[in-house]
């Protein structure tokens, strides 16, 4: 196996590993403050980033709030669901 092929495989592994995202959907029962606080707590968003995501969710019906490997995102998505948000991993 040549150096170039190894580098390509490593690069592909990184892309595949980061290929998942958590989508949070708009609903009629969670407040902006609750969504913002939850994104700060569970997704490590800054206050501004969480506010922007909340507005995108409100205006567009959904927003991808976190990207990474499935293993990294699964507990975060479970936490979002436990706090009453509608979310899934794609």
CATH of residue 8's domain is 3.30.1390.10
DSSP bridge partners of 66: 22
> Residue 12's domain spans which residues?
3-89
Kindly give the residue spans of alpha helices, DSSP state H, lying in 18-46: 32-43
Query: For residue 70, what are its two tokens?
Result: 């499935």
DSSP type of residue 2: -
Number of structural domains found in the chain: 1
Give the pLDDT score at 59.
Answer: 98
At 63-85, the pLDDT tens digits run: 999 999 999 999 999 999 999 99
Mean pLDDT (the chain, rounded): 90
d(CA 55, CA 49): 10
């Amino acid at each position: 196996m040549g150096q170039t092929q190894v580098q390509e495989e490593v690069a592909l592994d990184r892309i595949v590993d980061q290929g998942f995202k958590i989508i949070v959907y708009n609903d009629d029962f969670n407040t902006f403050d609750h969504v913002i606080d939850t994104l700060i707590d569970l997704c490590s968003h800054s206050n501004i980033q969480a506010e922007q995501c909340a507005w995108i969710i409100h205006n567009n019906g959904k927003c991808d709030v976190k990207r990474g490997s499935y293993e990294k995102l699964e507990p975060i998505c479970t936490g979002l669901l436990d706090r009453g948000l509608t979310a899934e991993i794609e």
